[in-house]
Amino acid sequence: MTMQEETGVQERCGFIAIVGRPNVGKSTLLNHLLEQKISITSRKPQTTRHRILGIKTVGALQYVYVDTPGIHKSQKKAINRVMNQTATSTLEGVDLVLFVVERLVFNEEDELVLQALEKVQVPVLLLINKCDLLDNPQKLLPHIERMTKIREFAEIIPLSALSSYNLEAVEKCVAKYLPEGPFLYPVDQVTDRSSRFLAAEIIREKITRQLGDELPYEVTVEIEKYTIQDGIVHIHALILVDKESQKQIIIGTRGSRMKLIGSAARVDMEKAFDAKVMLNLWVKVKSGWADDERALQSLGYHID
């Protein structure tokens, strides 16, 4: 029985795309709106490579947020093109768009996102993130005025995703635009992604955070085995790199980096899956995977 049948209250449900250039805080925003982590984050641009749904159901409202890769200028490799296509294709069929920018910045890559929004017929909210880092909040006023001249936004909301400042205002605003209609997902579902996918993403996040600027961009994770025995999750994962030298960077001296990556990933997995996790990691060289469309398809990089 639906909530509408039980209470007579009309259910409302809608898709909300979160778009922006790389590293403006889209995934952090999604995680804090959901009040749990489903999208990986790091300070390195282009951490998010896939479309991920984050589902939040509150009373008669179901918010279906769509986190996307950052739209970026470089399209040198197939993976860059796939990420851009994934982000722009997400704009089709949504009910609302959250365009995330950063404080007083509006650069060439922000302009690329704005161009992608030209054909969008649904309301677009402009979210100005990381406002807690401004030394003087008054500086925001002339910037907001400039932004009102580049496009007609439904609303402009300053916020800080990381500290959850003004997120309640964002959610209230989004609620106004949710169309009437039945829930599309069970009330306790929080994402459309499988545990295998989330495990791979958690490992990739820990690699990104451990290596920082040393990180070779051509790194991805493939789950070879995911089984549950006696309440314990057993995961065998391959970390794929492009070159032998990159393999050594990830392994570290006497396997020290791999141990840190595995330990940190296991902690997050046990929280996410609410179970004990046995994690085994290997590193393998797979040259050219990031510029091979067939390889990308087999690794799960495709337009949804």
> Is-contact 93 44, C-beta < 8 A?
no
Question: Where does the chain have alpha helices with state H?
Answer: 3-7, 26-34, 78-89, 108-116, 140-150, 167-176, 195-211, 244-251, 256-273, 293-298
- Rounded to whole angstroms, the Cα distance separating 57 from 185 reads 9
Q: What is the pLDDT of residue 209?
A: 84
pTM more than 0.85 = no
- What pLDDT digit, counting tens, does each position of 165-176 carry? 999 999 999 999
With tokens 């393998």, the residue in question is 284
- Rounded to whole angstroms, the Cα distance separating 75 from 85 reads 10
Pick the CATH number of 195-298 from 1.10.150.120, 3.30.530.20, 3.40.50.300, 3.30.300.20: 3.30.300.20
With tokens 């008669």, the residue in question is 60
- Rounded to whole angstroms, the Cα distance separating 254 from 187 reads 47
Q: What is the pLDDT of residue 42?
A: 52
3-176 classified as CATH 3.40.50.300: yes
pLDDT per residue rounded down to tens, the chain (304 residues): 555 555 567 999 999 999 988 888 888 899 899 988 877 665 554 555 567 889 999 999 999 998 876 554 555 555 455 455 655 566 788 999 999 999 898 999 899 889 888 888 999 999 999 998 888 888 899 999 999 999 999 999 999 998 989 999 999 999 999 999 999 999 999 988 888 988 998 998 898 888 876 665 568 888 999 999 999 999 999 998 888 888 888 898 998 999 999 999 999 999 989 999 999 999 988 876 565 566 556 545 554 4
Residue 95, amino acid = D
- Candidates 18, 25, 17; CA nearest to 164 is 25
Residue spans of the domains in the chain: they are 3-176, 195-298
Q: What is the pLDDT of residue 246?
A: 85
> Is-contact 126 150, C-beta < 8 A?
no
- Rounded to whole angstroms, the Cα distance separating 234 from 276 reads 9
Q: What is the pLDDT of residue 174?
A: 97
- Candidates 42, 8, 38, 11; CA nearest to 25 is 42
Question: Where does 164-255 have alpha helices with state H?
Answer: 167-176, 195-211, 244-251
Q: For the purposes of burial, counting CB atoms within 10 Å of the CB of 96, is it exposed (0-12), middle (13-18) or buried (19 or more)?
A: buried
Q: What is the pLDDT of residue 84?
A: 53
